[in-house]
């Protein structure tokens, strides 16, 4: 009798467990296998190509800087190499995890906007230290403001451009070499060595690796998307735009070259859409498309990206000029509005569809 009751209880427990598992599968927006698939696809099709391009641009920047400072290439070539590097950086700067953050590399490569107003003093200090040491410039041990893009921007695009055969050009070579080493290290640490970061990202949950499970790795991708939208708004658009035309601050745009600020934002947005879509729709978009409770999400995300990027492309003046121009300012303000809307969709509906939660970000605003 007791055996019969026990058997029935076991049977009911098995049925209950099976039913509960089925309900959990229905309720969970993305299962572990789905997260794993997205992580692998985005790593191979988006992250690694972005860092390959960045390392190549860093190497090219160093080579062209050497040629310019040896008087074997014109200043225009150095400026073009810097613009190409900035574009490659804009295609990868949203990836705020992994080797790019080791040793604060991302800040050292592009210490902006923190470097605003500090670059000139940092350059003077670096030159003075080199003179005291009798030559040689180890910028990697100096202020972040003199280690990367903002410093090179001042040396190549500023009022006092570095001339071949001068200490300022020697400093430009040291900075470009520093950038090349950091970007090559980021790329190599993703795929090389005894513990490549790629393995930690795509096969999480083993030992002291940085991700507990596949969902945790997907969360890093989600935060890269959400947080970069916040950075574009809070750092690259709103300070220059101001609340009214009288509050506009053109000097707060990113970059010295007139075209740099908008070019960077456009590239940022293209990179974020590429992260979301993944190769052939295998990125976060694949998880959004699986949502049975929010079937409108996937087409809404596509529409939001399309319209936001179209607005950015429609701005006809450099950003520093656009924020003070009556007509173009409207486009910049509209872009800010669209970015807020896109961020809101990502932080609520996409997060829910993915089964993830975005934490507090001080850049989110109201």
More confidently predicted of 135 and 14: 135
Residues 195 and 238 in one domain: no
Q: How confident is the model at residue 359 (pLDDT cuts 50, 70, 90)?
A: low
Which of 202, 234, 261 is the C-terminal boundary of a domain? 202
Q: Is residue 27 part of a domain?
A: no
Other residues' Cβ atoms within 10 Å of the Cβ of residue 75: 14
d(CA 107, CA 112): 8
Asked, for residue 208, whether it belongs to a domain, the answer is no
Quick one: 47 and 190 in the same domain?
Answer: yes
Predicted confidence at residue 205, as pLDDT, reads 80
The encoded tokens of residue 51 equal 């860092």
In sequence order, the 6+-apart residues with CB closer than 8 A to the CB of 313 are: 266
Residue 261 falls inside a structural domain: yes
Residues 258 and 193 reside in one and the same domain: no
- Residue corresponding to tokens 């970007």: 183
How many domains, the chain?
2
Burial class (CB in 10 A: 0-12, 13-18, 19+), 223: middle
Residues 101, 189 share a domain: yes
Looking at the structure, tell me whether residues 220 and 90 fall in a common domain. Answer: no
Q: Looking at the domain assignment, is residue 247 inside a domain?
A: yes
**143/249 same-domain check:** no
Residue 5 domain flag: no
Residue 8: inside a domain: no
Residue 65: CATH number of its domain: 1.20.1420.20
Does 283 share its domain with 192?
Answer: no
Residues 75 and 166 reside in one and the same domain: yes
- Pair (69, 165) in one structural domain: yes
From 71-80, 119-128, 315-324, the region with the lowest mean pLDDT: 119-128
Domain boundary pick from 145, 180, 202: 202
Q: Is residue 61 part of a domain?
A: yes
Dist. CA 213–CA 206, nearest whole Å: 9
Residue 364 counted as domain residue:
no
Select the more confidently predicted residue: 50 or 29. 50
Span 202-222, average pLDDT: 87
Domain identity same for 186 and 230: no
Q: Are residues 64 and 192 in the same domain?
A: yes
Band (pLDDT 50/70/90 cuts) for residue 115 is: confident
Among 202, 226, 246, the domain boundary falls at: 202
Provide the pLDDT for residue 17. 38
Q: For the chain, how many helices (H) and strands (E)?
A: 17, 0
Task: Note down the domain range covering 226.
Answer: 214-354
Print burial letters for 96-132: b (CB count within 10 Å at least 16), e (below 16): ebbbbeeeebbbbbbbbeebeebbeebbeebbebbee
Mean pLDDT, the chain, rounded, equals 89
Same domain, yes or no: 157 and 180:
yes
């Amino acid at each position: 009798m007791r055996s019969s009751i026990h058997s029935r209880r076991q049977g009911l427990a098995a049925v209950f467990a099976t039913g509960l598992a089925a309900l959990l599968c229905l309720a969970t927006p993305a299962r572990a296998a789905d997260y794993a698939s997205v992580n692998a696809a985005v790593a191979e099709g988006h992250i690694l190509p972005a860092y390959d391009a960045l390392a190549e641009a860093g190497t090219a920047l160093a080579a062209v800087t050497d040629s310019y400072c040896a008087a074997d290439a014109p200043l225009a070539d150095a400026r073009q190499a810097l613009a190409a590097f900035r574009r490659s950086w804009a295609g990868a700067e949203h990836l705020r995890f992994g080797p790019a953050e080791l040793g604060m590399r991302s800040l050292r490569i592009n210490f902006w906007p923190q470097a605003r107003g500090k670059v000139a003093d940092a350059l003077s200090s670096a030159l003075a230290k080199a003179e005291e040491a009798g030559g040689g410039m180890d910028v990697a041990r100096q202020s972040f403001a003199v280690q990367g893009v903002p410093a090179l921007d001042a040396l190549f695009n500023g009022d006092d451009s570095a001339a071949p055969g001068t200490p300022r050009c020697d400093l430009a070579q040291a900075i470009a070499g520093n950038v090349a080493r950091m970007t090559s290290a980021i790329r190599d640490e993703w795929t090389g060595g005894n513990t490549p970061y790629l393995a930690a990202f795509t096969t999480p949950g083993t030992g002291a690796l940085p991700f507990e499970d596949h969902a945790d790795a997907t969360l890093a991708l989600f935060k890269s998307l959400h947080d970069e939208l916040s950075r574009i708004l809070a750092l690259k658009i709103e300070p220059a735009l101001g609340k009214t035309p009288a509050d506009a601050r053109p000097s707060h745009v990113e970059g010295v070259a007139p075209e740099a600020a908008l070019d960077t934002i456009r590239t940022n947005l293209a990179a974020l859409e590429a992260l979301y879509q993944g190769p052939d729709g295998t990125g976060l978009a694949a998880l959004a498309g699986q949502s049975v409770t929010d079937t409108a999400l996937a087409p809404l995300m596509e529409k939001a990206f399309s319209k936001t990027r179209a607005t950015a492309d429609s701005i006809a003046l450099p950003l520093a000029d656009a924020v003070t121009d009556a007509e173009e300012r409207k486009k910049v303000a509209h872009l800010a509005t669209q970015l807020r809307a896109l961020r809101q969709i990502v932080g609520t509906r996409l997060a829910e569809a993915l089964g993830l939660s975005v934490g507090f970000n001080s850049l989110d605003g109201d």
